[in-house]
Amino acid sequence: MGNVHVLDHPLIQHKLTYIRDKHTGTKEFRELVDEVAALMAFEITRNFPLQEKTTETPMMEATTNVLAGKKVGLIPILRAGLGMVDGMLNLIPAARVGHVGMYRDPETLTPHEYYVKLPSDIEERELIVLDPMLATGGSANDAIYSLKKRGARQIRLMCLVGAPEGVEVIQNEHPDVDIFLAALDERLNDDGFIVPGLGDAGDRLYGTK
Ligand SMILES: O=P(O)(O)OC[C@H]1O[C@H](OP(=O)(O)OP(=O)(O)O)[C@H](O)[C@@H]1O
Ligand SMILES: O=c1cc[nH]c(=O)[nH]1
Ligand SMILES: [Mg+2]
């Protein structure tokens, strides 16, 4: 079963509080999501392999470390996942970005895929699926199946807020996928929204409500 990592770094938790706050406007919401994504990138890359390199410092020749060249693919689930891309790219600038378009029917809560465009070598890349919200888990579940169908082999899922229901779906359907969250919330309400949550992530990012 995939591990669930709740990234409880104080800076992440502090910023998440203002992301949740209903008084936070679109501009600030977008900036905070960007910042938290960068902080989460710092944590999610913690186990990336290093290799030794000989470096001449101004003082002497030294054996130092550089990243061992792990190839990364960032896969935002449109729309709301887009809000996490730039923050991640700040720390992993060589990552390629693939897009999966998915919307959740507000009545049935069923996800519908409407767009897929991926780097050609996804089978060689460590893919990080990005979406602020893991609610019923339907969207992330379908997006991960869609990636696997196209050859993906290594996938992690990174969300700001997860519900236990969504976590369970991913753990059951994709035991090979580790989940990284800034918070694991209480539950879903009757409309399929995470509570306490942060509301509709896409609408808050792009000011569409
Ligand atoms: O876990 P689930 O129950 O599938 O719900 C989560 C999904 O719902 C939201 O997207 P939405 O469908 O609102 O699309 P948007 O990002 O375009 O607003 C959110 O960004 C996730 O993709
Ligand atoms: O709480 C939720 C659930 C699904 N999508 C959102 O944007 N928010
Ligand atoms: Mg939305």
> 124 falls in which pLDDT band (50, 70, 90)?
very high
Strand stretches in the chain, DSSP E: 4-6, 50-56, 61-67, 72-78, 96-97, 99-104, 111-117, 126-130, 133-134, 154-162, 178-184, 187-188, 194-195
Binding residues for 5-phospho-alpha-D-ribose 1-diphosphate: 79, 104, 131-139, 200
Residue-wise pLDDT for 16-31, tens only, equals 999 999 999 999 999 9
Tokens found for residue 39: 């902080």
- Are the C-beta atoms of 21 and 48 separated by less than 8 Å? no
Please state the atom number of ligand 2 nearest to the C-alpha of residue 197: 1
Q: Which pLDDT score is estimated for 155?
A: 98
**Is the CB–ligand 2 distance for residue 161 below 6 Å?**
no
% of the chain beyond a pLDDT of 90: 97
Ligand nearest to the CA of 139: 1
Query: Considering only CA atoms, which residue is closest to atom 6 of ligand 2?
Result: 200
- 26, 33, 139, 198, best to mutate for ligand 1 pocket (most atoms within 8 Å of CB): 139
Angle ∠(205,80,132) on CA atoms, nearest 5: 100
For 110, left (φ over 0), alpha (ψ -120 to 50), or beta? Answer: beta
Residue 127 CA to residue 196 CA, distance in Å, equals: 29
* pLDDT in the model for residue 120: 97
ipTM for the predicted complex comes to 0.97
Question: Could you tell me which of 143, 94, 87, 140 has the C-alpha nearest to residue 115?
Answer: 143
pLDDT greater than 90 at residue 1: no
Query: Which ligand is nearest to the Cα of residue 197, counting in written order?
Result: 2
The best mutation among 102, 131, 194 to test binding of ligand 2, ranked by most ligand atoms within 8 Å of the C-beta, falls on: 194
For position 2, what pLDDT does the model report?
87
pLDDT digits (tens, 9 = 90+) for 45-98: 999 999 999 999 999 999 999 999 899 999 999 999 999 999 999 999 999 999
Q: Rounded to whole angstroms, how far apart are CA atoms 193 and 206?
A: 18
Q: Please give the Cα distance from 182 to 43 (Å, whole number).
A: 11
**CA dist., res. 193 & res. 74, Å (int):** 25
* pTM of the full structure: 0.96
Q: Which atom of ligand 1 is nearest to the CA of 163?
A: 1
Which of the ligands is closest to the CA of residue 183?
Answer: 2
- pLDDT value of position 48: 94
> Ligand 2: distance of its center to the CA of 111 in Å?
12
Tokens at residue 90, please? 């700040």
Tokens 């780097």 sit on residue: 119
